[in-house]
Structure 1
Amino acid sequence: MTTDGSVRDTRHSDVVPRRVGSDVLASSLARVAALQHELELRTDVPPAGDWWRCHHLLTDRTWFSRWHRRLADWLIEHHGAAPARTVSGYVLWWYLRLPAYVGALLLHHERRVPLLRPSELAFRISRDSRPDPVGVAVLGRSFYCLPLDPCAGRPEAVVVADERALAEVYRARFVAHATAFIRAYRPLSPHGARTLWAAATDAIDSCLWWAGVQGGDEGAGVADAALVLDARHEPLTSSSTLRRHTGDNGSVGWTRRRESCCFTYLLPGSTECETCPRTCPR
């Protein structure tokens, strides 16, 4: 793996290069890639570019230290300070968003869930701007699906009974990845276990919501969040916090209360976010 930054830096999805025709999960990823503009989605790791494999980070903590240093340098350059809690909070959110987002997209649009193992995910860090993830690669081929899925008979498919069971699988696969991440990251973070798991809860709730918004059906995304987070499933810290909200102009939409704080308010001249748990009533 190199870090020469030769892969172009874009947040838009690229063509999925794996053999899409014969690879069910790659075909699914190609379809959902066209429905979002958050991350470049791939099924391989290019030979050049700043791609980091998730299992490398979780087994060698020096990768997190490198990421912290790059973010701290960027914060100092753009904000004049890099509080430790802010640096840790940003990396915490950015990392947990990766398995949550990929899983949410595929669950929402395809009713398929990849295994989301650290060994089967990689991501690319921006080198030219803020060092947050701008690409994610799904390297595995196995997936969970429903009985009526047209590819349910494929050897890489694991069939579950119904949509509730598929939602439970997504939650369990995400929690398994988050558990490995939190075990590796907690010794490097000033945050306690509750804050770390609150960020994990925010990631899964928000990403399901975004999948609906980006696909043109916000209500369906909210419904998926309610299905996956129908109650508090420990170690997650709450059920879905999505709720109807009436704005100052009378418009009605959806919002949610964050379970975790991003600690942006610690930067010079900044204040708490509108949905910050420090100020938002439960």
Structure 2
Amino acid sequence: MTAGYRIEAGLRDRQGYLADSLDRVNPRQARATVRFGLPEDRSRWTRCADFLAMPDGFARWREGLASWLTETYGDSPERTTAGYVMNWYLTVPGYVAGLLFHHERRVPSLRPADLAFRMAQPRPHPDAIAVLSPRFVCLPDDPAAGTPEATVVSDERALAAVLRGRFTAHAARFVEVFAPQVRLGRRMLWAAATDVLDNSLWLAGRYGGDEGAGVLDAALVLADGPAPLTSDSTLRPLAESGGPTRWTRRRESCCFHYLLEAGQGTCQTCPRVCRKN
């Protein structure tokens, strides 16, 4: 159910240090469209803040998803539409944060007012993410340190704490809005947030050519907590002999894909079947 993404460069007439970062990571990714600023054609684009303020935003999203699921699988259980949407929405702040932290050691603003996404058709998932604020947090040796756009922190541990705090603040707003509309429970929603953050850092490393570094980033960012997140990173090496290390993780949340009539059963990493260890 994970959305398939690719990356676009930032707008040339609005270049800045953060836009430059997105341009640099552009050729190193194959998963997300991430850009700086909104394009001239803003059809299907929505600021996260505006979407969270829509009384029926998530209900309409789930209705559109239910239609697509019914056409594709012949069924659209309520918990499945809720599971898909919670993961898709949280990926907006999670993936852009993981991408920039891994490649650039920069953390952008993740406020709902400073992020936007574009809804794909006919499969209604966010297929593009826009960063709207040029400000970011970085390390002392960053070339932009000392400029008005940058706030400097002392070390990588402090930068990881900024990322975790900004992501959980956005996730908290999502949980506040989404929880009353679904029957999943707040712990399930925070478990999904944990999965998205852990997975985003891992995949930023994998698709960028250094999976092990992504694993280390996930361990760093999800340490020292995890509340309100539900665990530290659950990434672990597969027990195999010989060859390069392969990684897997135990999900904290369930996407409820298994409820679909044409589904392929429970995911191997689902908490329903994957023992905690």
The answer, yes or no, to whether TM exceeds 0.5 is yes
CA offset at residue 105 of structure 1? Answer: 0.6
List per-residue Cα deviations over 1:212-252 (Å, max 9, x = no partner). Answer: 00110000000001101124420100000000113599874
Alpha-carbon separation, structure 2, partners of 1:33 and 1:259: 30
Alpha-carbon separation, structure 2, partners of 1:248 and 1:106: 33
- Do residues 151 (structure 1) and 140 (structure 2) align? no
Q: Among residues 81, 89, 101, which one is paired with 1:87 in the alignment? A: 81
Alignment-derived partner of residue 227 in structure 1: 220
User: Secondary structure at 2:19's aligned position in 1?
Assistant: helix
CA offset at residue 115 of structure 1? Answer: 1.2
Alignment gaps of 5+ in structure 2: none
The total of aligned residue pairs comes to 271
State the TM-score, normalized to the length of structure 2.
0.93
Alpha-carbon separation, structure 1, partners of 2:7 and 2:64: 24
CA offset at residue 64 of structure 1? Answer: 1.1
Alpha-carbon separation, structure 2, partners of 1:173 and 1:183: 16
- Do residues 213 (structure 1) and 214 (structure 2) align? no
After the TM superposition, which segments of 4 or more aligned residues of structure 1 sit over 4 Å from their partners?
A: 247-252
State the TM-score, normalized to the length of structure 1.
0.92
- The one-letter code sitting in structure 2 at the alignment partner of 1:12 is R
Alpha-carbon separation, structure 2, partners of 1:248 and 1:149: 40
CA offset at residue 63 of structure 1? Answer: 1.5
- The one-letter code sitting in structure 2 at the alignment partner of 1:17 is L
- Higher mean displacement: 250-259 or 238-247: 250-259
- Do residues 187 (structure 1) and 180 (structure 2) align? yes
Structure 1 residues 72, 24: closer, same or farther in 2, change over 3 A? same
List per-residue Cα deviations over 1:102-145 (Å, max 9, x = no partner). Answer: 01110010000001110010001111x31111100000011000
Alignment-derived partner of residue 70 in structure 1: 64
- Do residues 124 (structure 1) and 127 (structure 2) align? no
Alignment-derived partner of residue 136 in structure 1: 129
Alignment gaps of 5+ in structure 1: 1-9
List per-residue Cα deviations over 1:69-92 (Å, max 9, x = no partner). Answer: 110000010111110000000000
Alpha-carbon separation, structure 2, partners of 1:106 and 1:68: 29
CA contact under 8 A between 1:103 and 1:170: conserved in structure 2? yes
